[in-house]
A and B are shown apart, each in its own frame.
Chain A
Amino acid sequence: MNIIKTATIVGVILILFSVASYFIPYEQLINQLPYVKDFYNNTSITVNSKNGKAVISINGQGYGETPVNVHDLAAGDYDVLITRVSTSTDFYPPKSVRITLERGTEAVIDMELGPEGITSGYTLYYTKSSQTSSSEGFMTISSDPTDSNVYLDDNLLQKAPINALKLSAKNYQLKVTHDGYEAITFPIIVRNGYNLNIVASLYPIPTVLTK
Chain B
Amino acid sequence: MKNPSIRRKVDPNAPVSLLVHGSNPLSIDIAKALIEQGGTVILVDHFNAQSKQYITQLKEHGQADFIDFKGLPDLLNHLPRVDYIFYFLHDYLSNSKDFSSKDFLEETNHLNEALKGTKRFDSKLSLLTTIKLNQDLSAHVLNSNLSTPSPYSPIELQKYCETLTAETRDKQQINARIIRLGALLGPENQNITDETVSRLVSEAVNKPYLNIYGEGLDIHYLIHTSDASYGILKLTFSNRTEGEVISLANNHDYTTLSLAYKLLELNPEITEIKFQPSDESRSIVFDQYVPATNASQFGWVQKYSLEQTLIEAITAFHPEKGKRILEAPTRNQAPEQQEDTLKKSETHNTILGNMVAIMTSPFTNTYNGIRNWLKTEREAVSPKRFATLLVGIIVLTALFYFVFMPIIGFGLGSLYLYRNTKQAVESFNSFDFKGASAHLDQAKYNTNRNSHYLNQMTWLFKATNSQDLYDNSSQLLFASEYALSGASTLTKSLEPLASYAKEFQPSLDFGNTTPASSREYRIYLKELQENLSGIDRASYNLTIATELLSKVDVAAFPKLLQPHLTQLKLANESIISQVGPSQQILSLIPDLLGVDSRQTYLVLLQNPGELRSTGGWLSSYAIVGIEGGQIRELKVDDVYNAEGQLKIAKKTFAAPKDMQTALDMTNWSMSLSNWNPNFPDSARTAEYFLNQLDSGSEFSGVITLDTEVIKMLLDKWGGLQVAGESEPITASNLDQKIFQLHSQFTPGQSVKSTFLANLANETLKKLFTLDFTGYKDIADVLFKSLNEKHILVFSKNPDAKKFFEKSMWAGVLDDKYQWAPMPVEWNWGANKANLYLERNHTLQVNIIDETHLEYDYTLFIQNKSTSKIYPQGDYENYFRIYLPLNAEVASVKGYLDNNYTIYRERGQKVIGGWFNVPAKTTKSFQVKYRLTKRESDLKFPIVKDGEQKSFDLSIFKQPGTFNDVYDLSLIYPDTWDAKQHDGLTRAVNTLTARFNLSTDKTFNLNWTQK
Contacts and interface: CB of A to CB of B under 8 A. Distances in A.
A167 interface: no
A195 B474 CA distance: 13
B399 A14 contact: yes
A89 interface: no
Contact of B409 (A14, A18, A96, A130): A18
B404 A14 contact: yes
A98 B543 CA distance: 17
Given A6-B366, A96-B533, A161-B543, A15 B408 contact: yes
Nearest to A199: B540
Contacts of B362: 9
B943 to A, nearest CB: 16
B477 interface: yes
Which 8 interchain pairs have the tightest Cβ spacing? A130-B474, A163-B547, A130-B478, A18-B408, A18-B404, A133-B467, A2-B240, A130-B475
B579 to A, nearest CB: 11
A2 to B, nearest CB: 4
B396 interface: yes
A59 interface: no
A163 B544 contact: yes
Contacts of A6: 366
B393 to A, nearest CB: 11
B449 interface: yes
A53 interface: no
B533 A164 contact: no
Nearest to B241: A2
A1 B239 contact: yes
Nearest to B472: A130
B471 interface: yes
Given A14-B396, A133-B467, A163 B543 contact: yes
| Of listed A128, A131, A142, residue having the most chain B CB within 10 A | A131
Interface string B384-407: 000000000000100110001101
14 contacts: A14-B399, A15-B404, A17-B400, A17-B404, A18-B409, A96-B533, A98-B537, A128-B448, A128-B478, A130-B471, A130-B474, A133-B461, A133-B462, A163-B548
Given A9-B366, A133-B471, A22 B478 contact: no
Interface of B: 239-240, 362-363, 366, 396, 399-400, 404-405, 407-409, 412-413, 448-449, 451, 455, 458, 461-462, 467, 470-471, 474-475, 477-478, 481, 533, 537, 540, 543-544, 547-548, 551
A22 B544 contact: no
A132 interface: yes
A140 B479 CA distance: 13
Contacts of A131: 455, 458, 474
Contacts of B455: 131
Interface in A164-178: 164
A2 B365 CA distance: 12
Contacts of A22: 408-409, 412-413, 449
Interface in A5-30: 6, 9-10, 14-15, 17-19, 21-22
A135 interface: no
Contacts of B537: 98
A1 B413 CA distance: 35
A69 interface: no
A158 interface: no
A133 B470 contact: yes
Given A10-B396, A96-B533, A164 B548 contact: yes
A129 interface: yes
A140 B544 contact: yes
A128 B485 CA distance: 12
Given A130-B477, A131-B455, A14 B400 contact: yes
Contacts of A142: 540
B405 A21 contact: yes
A129 B478 CA distance: 6
A12 B408 CA distance: 12
B977 to A, nearest CB: 22
B477 to A, nearest CB: 7
Contacts of B448: 128
A22 B411 CA distance: 10
A18 B400 contact: yes
Given A15-B408, A131-B455, A163-B547, 6 more contacts: A9-B363, A17-B404, A128-B478, A131-B458, A132-B475, A195-B478
A155 B362 CA distance: 67
A30 B544 CA distance: 30
A14 B397 CA distance: 9
Nearest to B466: A133
A195 B448 CA distance: 15
A142 B458 CA distance: 33
Contacts of A130: 451, 471, 474-475, 477-478
Contacts of A164: 544, 547-548, 551
| Of listed B399, B408, B543, residue having the most chain A CB within 10 A | B408
Nearest to A79: B533
A209 B499 CA distance: 51
A142 B543 CA distance: 11
Contacts of A128: 448, 451, 478, 481
A140 to B, nearest CB: 6
A150 to B, nearest CB: 15
| Of listed A10, A15, A17, A129, residue having the most chain B CB within 10 A | A129
Contacts of A17: 400, 404-405
B405 A18 contact: yes
Contacts of B551: 164
Nearest to B399: A14
| Of listed A2, A6, A96, A98, residue having the most chain B CB within 10 A | A2
A19 B408 contact: yes
Contacts of B412: 19, 22
Interface in A145-161: 161
Contacts of B239: 1
Nearest to A165: B547
Contacts of B548: 163-164
B576 to A, nearest CB: 10
A128 B400 CA distance: 25
B471 A132 contact: yes
Nearest to A6: B366
B544 A195 contact: yes
A6 B405 CA distance: 20
Contacts of B462: 133
A19 B449 CA distance: 13
Nearest to B242: A2
B409 A21 contact: yes
A87 to B, nearest CB: 29
Nearest to A8: B362
Contacts of A133: 461-462, 467, 470-471
Nearest to A23: B412
Nearest to A127: B482
B585 to A, nearest CB: 18
| Of listed A15, A130, A163, A164, residue having the most chain B CB within 10 A | A130
A162 B704 CA distance: 37
A174 B478 CA distance: 25
Nearest to A17: B400
B544 to A, nearest CB: 5
Contacts of B240: 1-2
B416 to A, nearest CB: 9
A10 B471 CA distance: 33
A98 B404 CA distance: 38
A22 B445 CA distance: 11
Given A22-B409, A164-B547, A132 B474 contact: yes
Nearest to A133: B467
A195 B363 CA distance: 46
A93 B79 CA distance: 108
Contacts of A14: 396, 399-400, 404
Contacts of A140: 544
Contacts of B478: 128-130, 195
B180 to A, nearest CB: 19
Nearest to A1: B240
